[in-house]
Structure 1
Amino acid sequence: MSSQSTVTLTMAKAFNVQAEKVFEAWITPSLMKKWLFTMEMTNKVAKSEAKIGGEWEIVDHREGKDYRAIGEYRVLDAPNKIVKTFRMPQFSDTEDVITITIESTNSGSNMTFIQKIIVPHEENWTEEDIDKTCREYHDSTKAGWEMMFAGLKQLVETGNIQYPEF
Protein backbone atom coordinates (compact mmCIF):
# COMPACT_ATOMS: atom_id res chain seq x y z
CA MET A 1 0.00 0.00 0.00
CA SER A 2 1.17 3.55 -0.73
CA SER A 3 2.49 5.68 2.12
CA GLN A 4 0.46 8.66 0.96
CA SER A 5 -2.70 9.69 -0.86
CA THR A 6 -3.50 12.69 -3.03
CA VAL A 7 -6.73 14.60 -2.52
CA THR A 8 -7.84 17.23 -5.02
CA LEU A 9 -9.50 20.40 -3.73
CA THR A 10 -11.20 22.52 -6.41
CA MET A 11 -12.76 25.89 -5.62
CA ALA A 12 -14.09 28.80 -7.67
CA LYS A 13 -14.50 32.48 -6.88
CA ALA A 14 -15.93 35.35 -8.94
CA PHE A 15 -14.48 38.84 -8.71
CA ASN A 16 -15.85 42.18 -9.88
CA VAL A 17 -12.39 43.28 -11.02
CA GLN A 18 -10.11 42.51 -13.92
CA ALA A 19 -8.04 39.32 -13.92
CA GLU A 20 -4.84 41.37 -13.61
CA LYS A 21 -5.79 42.58 -10.10
CA VAL A 22 -6.45 39.04 -8.88
CA PHE A 23 -3.21 37.76 -10.43
CA GLU A 24 -1.20 40.57 -8.80
CA ALA A 25 -2.68 39.79 -5.36
CA TRP A 26 -1.21 36.27 -5.62
CA ILE A 27 2.36 37.37 -6.45
CA THR A 28 2.90 40.83 -4.90
CA PRO A 29 4.33 40.61 -1.35
CA SER A 30 2.57 43.72 -0.03
CA LEU A 31 -0.78 42.30 -1.21
CA MET A 32 -0.04 38.70 -0.20
CA LYS A 33 0.67 39.91 3.33
CA LYS A 34 -2.87 41.30 3.62
CA TRP A 35 -4.85 38.14 2.78
CA LEU A 36 -2.71 35.02 2.39
CA PHE A 37 -2.97 32.74 5.43
CA THR A 38 -4.45 34.99 8.06
CA MET A 39 -4.17 38.72 8.12
CA GLU A 40 -1.79 41.59 7.78
CA MET A 41 -1.29 42.03 11.53
CA THR A 42 -0.07 38.46 12.04
CA ASN A 43 1.80 37.91 8.77
CA LYS A 44 5.32 38.99 9.61
CA VAL A 45 7.02 37.86 6.39
CA ALA A 46 5.73 38.00 2.82
CA LYS A 47 8.18 37.34 0.00
CA SER A 48 7.69 36.60 -3.66
CA GLU A 49 10.23 36.21 -6.42
CA ALA A 50 7.63 36.09 -9.19
CA LYS A 51 9.48 34.19 -11.92
CA ILE A 52 9.64 30.56 -13.00
CA GLY A 53 11.71 28.83 -10.33
CA GLY A 54 11.35 31.82 -8.01
CA GLU A 55 10.37 31.24 -4.41
CA TRP A 56 7.52 32.60 -2.32
CA GLU A 57 7.10 32.62 1.45
CA ILE A 58 4.60 33.66 4.11
CA VAL A 59 5.35 33.52 7.83
CA ASP A 60 2.30 33.97 10.03
CA HIS A 61 2.82 34.51 13.76
CA ARG A 62 -0.06 33.35 15.98
CA GLU A 63 -0.23 32.41 19.64
CA GLY A 64 3.53 32.65 20.02
CA LYS A 65 4.31 30.38 17.06
CA ASP A 66 5.47 30.94 13.51
CA TYR A 67 3.63 29.13 10.72
CA ARG A 68 5.76 29.13 7.58
CA ALA A 69 4.41 28.40 4.11
CA ILE A 70 6.87 28.24 1.22
CA GLY A 71 6.99 27.17 -2.37
CA GLU A 72 8.28 27.70 -5.86
CA TYR A 73 6.62 29.15 -8.94
CA ARG A 74 6.34 26.64 -11.78
CA VAL A 75 4.10 28.59 -14.18
CA LEU A 76 3.46 32.34 -14.34
CA ASP A 77 1.26 33.27 -17.30
CA ALA A 78 -0.05 36.74 -16.40
CA PRO A 79 -2.91 37.31 -15.84
CA ASN A 80 -4.30 33.86 -16.57
CA LYS A 81 -2.43 31.16 -14.69
CA ILE A 82 -0.16 30.47 -11.74
CA VAL A 83 1.17 27.04 -10.78
CA LYS A 84 3.20 26.85 -7.60
CA THR A 85 4.28 24.38 -4.98
CA PHE A 86 3.12 24.66 -1.38
CA ARG A 87 4.90 23.33 1.70
CA MET A 88 4.68 23.89 5.43
CA PRO A 89 8.00 22.36 6.54
CA GLN A 90 7.22 22.59 10.25
CA PHE A 91 4.43 20.01 9.77
CA SER A 92 5.70 17.64 7.07
CA ASP A 93 7.96 17.08 4.08
CA THR A 94 5.02 16.84 1.69
CA GLU A 95 4.70 19.27 -1.19
CA ASP A 96 1.32 20.15 -2.65
CA VAL A 97 0.80 21.72 -6.07
CA ILE A 98 -1.57 24.66 -6.46
CA THR A 99 -2.95 25.79 -9.81
CA ILE A 100 -4.79 29.10 -10.08
CA THR A 101 -6.50 29.99 -13.35
CA ILE A 102 -8.13 33.38 -13.83
CA GLU A 103 -10.51 34.07 -16.71
CA SER A 104 -11.84 37.45 -17.74
CA THR A 105 -15.62 37.84 -17.82
CA ASN A 106 -17.97 40.67 -18.80
CA SER A 107 -18.30 41.67 -15.14
CA GLY A 108 -14.73 41.02 -13.99
CA SER A 109 -13.04 37.65 -13.62
CA ASN A 110 -13.47 34.11 -12.38
CA MET A 111 -10.77 32.25 -10.49
CA THR A 112 -10.48 28.49 -10.32
CA PHE A 113 -8.23 27.15 -7.59
CA ILE A 114 -6.99 23.54 -7.54
CA GLN A 115 -4.78 22.12 -4.82
CA LYS A 116 -3.36 18.61 -5.02
CA ILE A 117 -3.09 17.83 -1.31
CA ILE A 118 -0.64 15.15 -0.25
CA VAL A 119 -1.94 13.15 2.72
CA PRO A 120 0.77 11.10 4.44
CA HIS A 121 -0.32 7.75 5.87
CA GLU A 122 0.66 6.41 9.25
CA GLU A 123 1.83 2.85 9.70
CA ASN A 124 -0.94 0.26 10.10
CA TRP A 125 -3.71 2.52 8.81
CA THR A 126 -6.79 0.83 7.40
CA GLU A 127 -8.61 2.02 4.28
CA GLU A 128 -11.15 3.56 6.65
CA ASP A 129 -8.41 5.54 8.43
CA ILE A 130 -7.06 6.75 5.09
CA ASP A 131 -10.51 7.79 3.81
CA LYS A 132 -11.31 9.63 7.05
CA THR A 133 -7.99 11.48 7.07
CA CYS A 134 -8.31 12.41 3.39
CA ARG A 135 -11.75 13.92 4.06
CA GLU A 136 -10.38 15.83 7.06
CA TYR A 137 -7.46 17.24 5.03
CA HIS A 138 -9.83 18.25 2.22
CA ASP A 139 -12.42 19.86 4.49
CA SER A 140 -9.99 21.74 6.74
CA THR A 141 -7.99 22.98 3.74
CA LYS A 142 -11.19 24.13 2.03
CA ALA A 143 -12.35 26.01 5.15
CA GLY A 144 -9.02 27.82 5.35
CA TRP A 145 -9.04 28.85 1.70
CA GLU A 146 -12.68 30.00 1.93
CA MET A 147 -11.67 32.47 4.66
CA MET A 148 -8.63 33.61 2.68
CA PHE A 149 -10.62 34.01 -0.55
CA ALA A 150 -13.18 36.17 1.27
CA GLY A 151 -10.29 38.46 2.24
CA LEU A 152 -8.83 38.32 -1.27
CA LYS A 153 -12.19 39.37 -2.75
CA GLN A 154 -12.49 42.33 -0.36
CA LEU A 155 -8.90 43.36 -1.02
CA VAL A 156 -9.04 43.36 -4.83
CA GLU A 157 -12.54 44.84 -5.01
CA THR A 158 -12.32 47.52 -2.28
CA GLY A 159 -8.63 47.87 -1.40
CA ASN A 160 -9.34 46.88 2.22
CA ILE A 161 -10.18 43.79 4.26
CA GLN A 162 -12.62 43.95 7.15
CA TYR A 163 -11.06 41.50 9.59
CA PRO A 164 -13.34 39.83 12.13
CA GLU A 165 -13.14 40.98 15.73
CA PHE A 166 -11.17 38.69 18.03
Structure 2
Amino acid sequence: MDNYSRTTLKMTRIFDVAPKRVFDAWLNPEMMRKWLFTLEGTNKAAHSNPQVGGTWEIIDHREDKDYRAIGEYLEIDPPKKLVFTFKMPQFSELEDTITVELKELKQGCEMTFTQNIIVPHEENWTKSDIEKALGEYHDGSEHGWNLMFMGLKELVETGKVSYKG
Protein backbone atom coordinates (compact mmCIF):
# COMPACT_ATOMS: atom_id res chain seq x y z
CA MET A 1 0.00 0.00 0.00
CA ASP A 2 1.23 3.52 -0.85
CA ASN A 3 2.08 5.85 2.00
CA TYR A 4 -0.18 8.54 0.57
CA SER A 5 -3.54 9.03 -1.15
CA ARG A 6 -4.90 11.69 -3.48
CA THR A 7 -8.03 13.79 -3.55
CA THR A 8 -9.12 16.54 -5.91
CA LEU A 9 -10.53 19.92 -4.98
CA LYS A 10 -12.34 21.79 -7.76
CA MET A 11 -13.74 25.30 -7.34
CA THR A 12 -15.23 27.85 -9.73
CA ARG A 13 -15.38 31.62 -9.29
CA ILE A 14 -16.72 34.50 -11.41
CA PHE A 15 -14.85 37.81 -11.64
CA ASP A 16 -16.07 41.10 -13.12
CA VAL A 17 -12.76 41.68 -14.92
CA ALA A 18 -11.00 40.34 -18.01
CA PRO A 19 -9.18 36.99 -17.67
CA LYS A 20 -5.79 38.73 -18.04
CA ARG A 21 -6.31 40.65 -14.78
CA VAL A 22 -6.96 37.43 -12.82
CA PHE A 23 -4.16 35.58 -14.61
CA ASP A 24 -1.71 38.36 -13.67
CA ALA A 25 -2.74 38.16 -10.01
CA TRP A 26 -1.40 34.56 -9.94
CA LEU A 27 2.02 35.58 -11.33
CA ASN A 28 2.79 39.18 -10.34
CA PRO A 29 4.62 39.25 -6.96
CA GLU A 30 3.14 42.64 -6.03
CA MET A 31 -0.35 41.19 -6.47
CA MET A 32 0.52 37.74 -5.02
CA ARG A 33 1.69 39.27 -1.71
CA LYS A 34 -1.80 40.68 -1.15
CA TRP A 35 -3.79 37.43 -1.39
CA LEU A 36 -1.90 34.20 -2.23
CA PHE A 37 -1.17 32.28 1.01
CA THR A 38 -0.53 35.63 2.69
CA LEU A 39 -1.76 39.16 3.30
CA GLU A 40 0.10 42.38 2.69
CA GLY A 41 0.42 42.99 6.43
CA THR A 42 1.98 39.57 7.18
CA ASN A 43 3.90 38.96 3.94
CA LYS A 44 7.69 38.76 4.24
CA ALA A 45 8.47 37.76 0.65
CA ALA A 46 6.79 37.15 -2.68
CA HIS A 47 8.89 35.98 -5.62
CA SER A 48 7.86 34.73 -9.04
CA ASN A 49 9.78 33.70 -12.14
CA PRO A 50 6.77 33.14 -14.42
CA GLN A 51 8.15 30.83 -17.08
CA VAL A 52 7.89 27.08 -17.49
CA GLY A 53 10.45 25.65 -15.09
CA GLY A 54 10.53 28.93 -13.15
CA THR A 55 9.69 28.99 -9.45
CA TRP A 56 7.51 30.98 -7.10
CA GLU A 57 7.69 31.54 -3.34
CA ILE A 58 5.58 33.20 -0.67
CA ILE A 59 6.69 33.69 2.94
CA ASP A 60 3.98 34.68 5.41
CA HIS A 61 4.74 35.60 9.03
CA ARG A 62 2.02 34.72 11.57
CA GLU A 63 2.13 34.02 15.28
CA ASP A 64 5.94 34.43 15.41
CA LYS A 65 6.46 31.83 12.67
CA ASP A 66 7.35 31.97 9.00
CA TYR A 67 5.20 29.87 6.68
CA ARG A 68 6.78 29.20 3.29
CA ALA A 69 4.85 28.12 0.19
CA ILE A 70 6.85 27.25 -2.93
CA GLY A 71 6.39 25.71 -6.33
CA GLU A 72 7.38 25.43 -9.95
CA TYR A 73 5.49 26.60 -13.03
CA LEU A 74 4.64 23.63 -15.28
CA GLU A 75 2.45 25.32 -17.91
CA ILE A 76 1.76 28.99 -18.64
CA ASP A 77 -0.74 29.87 -21.38
CA PRO A 78 -1.83 33.49 -20.82
CA PRO A 79 -4.54 34.37 -20.06
CA LYS A 80 -6.19 30.95 -20.25
CA LYS A 81 -4.30 28.37 -18.22
CA LEU A 82 -1.71 28.12 -15.49
CA VAL A 83 -0.37 24.89 -13.97
CA PHE A 84 2.07 24.86 -11.06
CA THR A 85 3.25 22.77 -8.15
CA PHE A 86 2.64 23.73 -4.53
CA LYS A 87 4.24 22.60 -1.30
CA MET A 88 4.97 23.89 2.16
CA PRO A 89 8.35 22.31 3.02
CA GLN A 90 8.01 22.90 6.78
CA PHE A 91 5.09 20.46 6.79
CA SER A 92 5.84 17.98 4.01
CA GLU A 93 7.96 17.35 0.94
CA LEU A 94 4.85 16.14 -0.91
CA GLU A 95 3.86 18.37 -3.79
CA ASP A 96 0.33 19.18 -4.95
CA THR A 97 -0.45 20.28 -8.50
CA ILE A 98 -2.72 23.26 -9.10
CA THR A 99 -4.43 24.13 -12.38
CA VAL A 100 -6.09 27.50 -12.95
CA GLU A 101 -8.23 27.84 -16.08
CA LEU A 102 -9.80 31.14 -17.14
CA LYS A 103 -12.66 31.55 -19.58
CA GLU A 104 -13.85 34.90 -20.88
CA LEU A 105 -17.54 35.64 -20.32
CA LYS A 106 -19.71 38.40 -21.78
CA GLN A 107 -19.12 40.22 -18.50
CA GLY A 108 -15.84 39.29 -16.84
CA CYS A 109 -14.45 35.78 -16.60
CA GLU A 110 -14.85 32.41 -14.97
CA MET A 111 -11.96 30.80 -13.11
CA THR A 112 -11.87 27.05 -12.60
CA PHE A 113 -9.38 26.04 -9.93
CA THR A 114 -8.31 22.40 -9.49
CA GLN A 115 -5.91 21.17 -6.81
CA ASN A 116 -4.66 17.60 -6.83
CA ILE A 117 -3.98 17.11 -3.13
CA ILE A 118 -1.58 14.46 -1.86
CA VAL A 119 -2.48 13.24 1.62
CA PRO A 120 0.31 11.48 3.55
CA HIS A 121 -0.61 8.39 5.54
CA GLU A 122 0.51 7.70 9.06
CA GLU A 123 1.69 4.26 10.07
CA ASN A 124 -1.05 1.70 10.83
CA TRP A 125 -3.83 3.79 9.30
CA THR A 126 -7.01 1.91 8.45
CA LYS A 127 -9.13 2.57 5.39
CA SER A 128 -11.46 4.75 7.48
CA ASP A 129 -8.47 6.77 8.81
CA ILE A 130 -7.43 7.43 5.22
CA GLU A 131 -10.96 8.44 4.17
CA LYS A 132 -11.21 10.77 7.17
CA ALA A 133 -7.85 12.38 6.33
CA LEU A 134 -8.84 12.81 2.68
CA GLY A 135 -12.00 14.63 3.76
CA GLU A 136 -10.11 16.83 6.22
CA TYR A 137 -7.43 17.80 3.68
CA HIS A 138 -10.10 18.52 1.03
CA ASP A 139 -12.30 20.58 3.37
CA GLY A 140 -9.36 22.41 4.96
CA SER A 141 -7.95 23.30 1.55
CA GLU A 142 -11.36 24.42 0.33
CA HIS A 143 -11.78 26.68 3.38
CA GLY A 144 -8.35 28.25 2.85
CA TRP A 145 -8.89 28.83 -0.85
CA ASN A 146 -12.36 30.32 -0.20
CA LEU A 147 -10.73 32.96 1.99
CA MET A 148 -7.96 33.59 -0.54
CA PHE A 149 -10.42 33.83 -3.45
CA MET A 150 -12.42 36.49 -1.57
CA GLY A 151 -9.20 38.52 -1.40
CA LEU A 152 -8.38 37.77 -5.04
CA LYS A 153 -11.82 38.96 -6.17
CA GLU A 154 -11.50 42.18 -4.20
CA LEU A 155 -7.95 42.75 -5.47
CA VAL A 156 -8.69 42.27 -9.19
CA GLU A 157 -11.98 44.17 -9.06
CA THR A 158 -11.00 47.10 -6.82
CA GLY A 159 -7.20 47.14 -6.84
CA LYS A 160 -6.83 46.43 -3.13
CA VAL A 161 -7.70 43.96 -0.37
CA SER A 162 -9.34 45.60 2.64
CA TYR A 163 -8.83 42.69 5.06
CA LYS A 164 -5.46 43.13 6.77
CA GLY A 165 -5.41 40.04 9.03
TM-score where L is the length of structure 2: 0.98
CA contact (8 A) 2:60 2:66 kept: yes
- C-alpha deviation, 1:128, in angstroms: 0.5
Percent identity reads 56
Any idea what SS the aligned residue of 2:147 has? helix
Look up the match of 1:21: 21
Any idea what SS the aligned residue of 1:35 has? coil
* Structure 2: unaligned runs, 5 residues or longer: none
Q: Distance in 2 between matches of 1:127 and 1:6?
A: 13
Look up the match of 1:140: 140
Q: Distance in 2 between matches of 1:123 and 1:160?
A: 45
TM-score where L is the length of structure 1: 0.98
Matched residue count: 165
Q: Distance in 2 between matches of 1:75 and 1:148?
A: 22
- C-alpha deviation, 1:113, in angstroms: 0.3
Q: Distance in 1 between matches of 2:116 and 2:71?
A: 14
Once superposed, what is the RMSD of the aligned Cα atoms? 0.8
* Structure 1: unaligned runs, 5 residues or longer: none
- C-alpha deviation, 1:35, in angstroms: 0.6
Any idea what SS the aligned residue of 1:141 has? helix
- C-alpha deviation, 1:38, in angstroms: 2.8
Any idea what SS the aligned residue of 2:33 has? helix
- C-alpha deviation, 1:83, in angstroms: 0.2
